[in-house]
Structure 1
Amino acid sequence: MIQTNAGGNGVDELVAPQLTFTVNSSPAIIQIPVSSGTNVSLPPITVPGVSTPITVTISNVQTGGTIVVEQVSPSTLLADNPGIFSAVGTSSSLTIGTSTGNTIGTVFEIDTSSITLGSGATIDVTIPYDPTLLPPGFNEANVKFFHWTGTAWVDVTLTVDTAANTITGRLTSLSPVVAGYTSVAPSGGGAVGGGGGGGTTGGGTGIDLTPTYPDSYFVNNPLAKVQVQSTAFIGSSGQAVAAARTGGQIDIQATFKNYQQSSQNYAIIIQVIDKDGFTADVGWVTGTLASGETTNAARSWVAGDEGNYTVRIFVWDGISQTPTALSIVNDKTLTVVA
C-alpha cells in the first residue's frame, strides 16, 4: 500500500506488514550504506548536476549505517544559518578566520549521524572545484577545502589535485563543505603618495607580470576585475605595525590591481567596525587604474578604545546611488591596545 502525503512534498511511504520504507523523490539527495571497519572507502558518489563524483574514506567506523550526501545552494544555507555567507552567488563570499574567502564550486551537505565513528576517526572527503571561478593570477595549488563547523568556516585542506580539479579535506565531523580560496597574495605595490577623497593614493604604481584578462573572463568572474592584494597598518614611523594604540594615528593601506585589459575608475571604501558591529570610521579614495596597474590607497584613522576592530575594504566603480562592485569584500582584524 502507498500512503501519499497530502502536503505535496514528494515523499511517499510504502507500508507493508511491520515494515515502513521512506522513498525520497529528490534526486539531489544520495544515500550510501556504510559498513563497520577500518579505512572504509565508499564507492564514488555521483551527485546530480555535478560532473565529478566525490569520494569519502573513513578511518574507523564502529557501527555502520548510512551517509547522506546532498547538493545545497548557498542561499538555502544562508536562510538557515544567518552569517554563514556574507554574499551569495556563483562564487559566494565567506569569512575564514581573519580573512575573506570565496567559494569555487558546489556546496555539499554530508550527514554521518546514522553511523558511529571509532575513537579518533577521521573522514577524508574529495570534492571538485571550478578553476574558472578563481581570480586572475591565483595559484591553483592554493585552493582550500572549507568546512562549516556550525559556527565558523575552517580550513581542513589535505591535498589539491590541479589536474583533476579536485581537493581533499580531512575532517572529524561533517556538515557543509566546499572548495574555495582566500584573498590573493600580494604581487607588488608601492608607497603611499598624494591625496584624494577621504584618503591617499598615488606614487609607486606599476605594471606587474601577472596577466590581464579579456572582458569575456569577467562574465563569470565579475568580482575579479580589481583585486585587493594586501591590507597593511602603517604606524607614525612609516613602518607596518601589528596593532594600534588608543588615541594613536594609523594609516590603513590597501594594495590593489586592475586585472582588466582596459582602464577602470574605482572607489576604495575603507570601513572600520568595532567589536559591537558599529562603524567607527569610513572613508574612500577614488581614482583610475590603467590596465594591469597596481597601486596603493590609504586612510588615516585615530584609534579608539581597546579591542579588536574589523577593517573592511570595498572596491566599487565609483561613489553613487547604484555602484557596481569590482572585487570581493576584504576583511582584516586590527587590534587596538592601551
Structure 2
Amino acid sequence: MKIVLSNVAVGGTVVIQPGSPAAIQALVPGIFTVAGADTAIFNVGTSTANVLGTVFEIDTSAITLGAGATIDVTIPYDPTLLPPNFNEANVKFFHWTGTAWQDVTLTVDTANNTITGRLTSLSPVVAGYTSVAPAGGGAVGGGGGGTTGGGTGVDLTPTYPDSYFVSNPLAKIQVQGTAFIGSSGQAVAAARTGGQIDIQATFKNYQQSSQNYAIIIQVIDKDGFTADVGWVTGTLASGETTNAARSWVAGDEGNYTVRIFVWDGISQTPTALSIVNDKTLTVVA
C-alpha cells in the first residue's frame, strides 16, 4: 500500500487499518448491502459494486494539509475475485464519503494488481467493480391489494455458488435501491398528505439458479401501526434484476417507515432471502 500527500502543512502519522468487509460493516453499519468475511456488495449510485479484497480505513487527522491538497492512495486488489473474462482495466477505486460510495479511480496497474485513487478526504476505501442494472419493461404483477411489478434485466455482477449462501443466507436476493416517486413522475424526498406516492425498489438474484420470490412493501406509521402493505410474486433467473412498486396515498403528517422484505413466497412459513430494508418517508401538509 502507498500513500502520497500533496501540500502538507504540518507533518504527522498516517494510521492505516485494514479489515474484512464484515469487520468494517461492524464499525460502520450500513456501509455494505451484504458483507462477508471475504466479499461484499454495495451500491454506487445506480450501480451494484463488488469488493475485490481488503477494505482499508485510513486516518490522516494527525496531519495538516494545505489548501487544495490531494491524497493519492494505492491499494491491492485480488484478481481471483473477478468474474470470467472481466477486463482488469475496469477495476475501480471506491471511497466512502460517510453517506455514499464514490468512484475516485486514478490509475489501474494490472501487472501488479494495484489501483490508485485520488482523495481530498479519508474514510474507508476499497477496490471493486460495478455494473449498472438496466431499466425494464413489464414484469409479473402480484397480490396484496394493488402492488405492481416493474421490468426485468440481467446485469454483469457475478452470481455466487450455493456454498456462499451457507454463511450468507440473506444474500440470495438483494434490494439494489429504492425511490419515492411523486405524481409528476420525479423522485421526491417527502410526500404530501393525501397525495399519491409510488414506492419503488429494484432487486437482484445473486444465486446461480432461479428463485421464486415475494417482495413485500410495508408502510408503518409513527405509532408503529401498518398503514399499507402489498407484495409482488414471481421468479427470477440467475443474475436477473427486476423492479417492484407500491402505490400509496399518503396519510397524516409525520415520518413513516417503508419496510421491504424479500421472501421465497407468501405462506405460513416463508424463508427470508434478504435482509430487511428500512427507509424513512416523511409526509408533510
TM-score, normalised with respect to structure 2: 0.65
Mapping of 1:218-297 within 5 angstroms?
225-226=172-173, 228=175, 231=178, 233=180, 240-243=185-188, 244-258=191-205, 260-272=207-219, 281-291=228-238, 295-297=242-244
Partner of 1:107: 55
1:168 aligns with 2:113: no
Tell me, yes or no, if the aligned pair for 1:188 and 1:208 is still in contact at 8 Å.
no
CA offsets, 1:296-320, max 9 Å, x none?
4322222245678675544343457
The structure-2 alpha-carbon separation of the partners of 1:317 and 1:147, relative to structure 1 and needing over 3 Å to count, comes to: same
Matches within 5 A, 1:61-100: 61-73=8-20, 76-77=23-24, 88-90=35-37, 91-92=39-40
- Deviations 1:160-194 (CA, angstroms, capped at 9, x unpaired): 52836544333334343334578x53324223664
Superimposed CA distance per residue, residues 263-286 of structure 1 (whole angstroms, 9 cap, x where no aligned partner): 211121324577999976554333
The yes-or-no answer on 1:120 pairing with 2:68 is yes
Given the superposition, is the C-alpha separation of residues 187 and 231 from structure 1 closer, same or farther in structure 2, using an over 3 Å criterion? same
TM-score, length of structure 1 as denominator length = 0.57
Deviates more, 1:208-217 or 1:169-178: 208-217
Question: Within 2, Cα distance between the matches of 1:278 and 1:97?
Answer: 32
Q: Which amino acid aligns with 2:73?
A: V
Indicate yes or no: 2:271 matched with 1:323: yes
Partners in 1 of 2:155 and 2:45 — Cα distance?
A: 30
Q: Which amino acid aligns with 1:185?
A: V
Can you give the 5+ residue segments of structure 2 that lack an aligned partner in the other structure?
Answer: none
- Contact 1:195 1:201 (8 Å CA) reproduced: yes
Matched, 1:303 2:250: yes
Q: Which has the higher contact order (CA 8 A, sep 6+)?
A: 2
8 Å CA contact 1:148–1:154 kept in 2: the answer is yes
C-alpha change, 1:296 and 1:81, in structure 2 (3 Å) is: closer
Matches of 1:89 and 1:281, distance apart in 2: 33
- Decide whether aligned partners of structure 1 residues 156 and 188 sit closer, same or farther in structure 2, where only a CA change above 3 A counts: closer
Find the partner of 2:133 among 161, 181, 186. Answer: 186
Q: C-alpha distance in 1, partners of 2:237/2:101?
A: 36
Task: For residue 147 of structure 1, report the CA deviation from its aligned partner.
Answer: 3.1
Match of 2:3 in 1: 56
- Which amino acid is the alignment partner of residue 233 of structure 2? T
- Matched to 1:122, the amino acid is T
User: What corresponds to 2:96 in structure 1?
Assistant: 147
Aligned length: 278
* Mapping 1:20-31, distance limit 5 Å: none
Q: Give the Å deviation of 1:59.
A: 0.7
Q: Quick one: which amino acid aligns to residue 178 of structure 1? A: V
Q: 1:86 to 1:194 in 2, by over 3 A?
A: closer
Distance 1:295 1:118, change over 3 A: closer
Percent identity over the alignment is 68
Assess if the C-alpha contact under 8 Å between 2:44 and 2:100 holds in 1.
yes
Runs of at least 5 residues in structure 1 that lack an aligned partner in the other structure: 1-53
C-alpha spacing 1:72/1:263, structure 2 compared with 1 (3 Å) = closer
Deviation at 1:55, TM superposition (A): 1.7
**What SS does the corresponding residue of 1:66 show, helix, strand or coil?**
coil
Per-residue deviation, 1:209: 8.0
Q: Secondary structure at the match of 1:121?
A: coil
Map Cα deviations across residues 220-252 of structure 1 (whole Å, 9 max, x no partner): 98777545566555556xx73323432123332
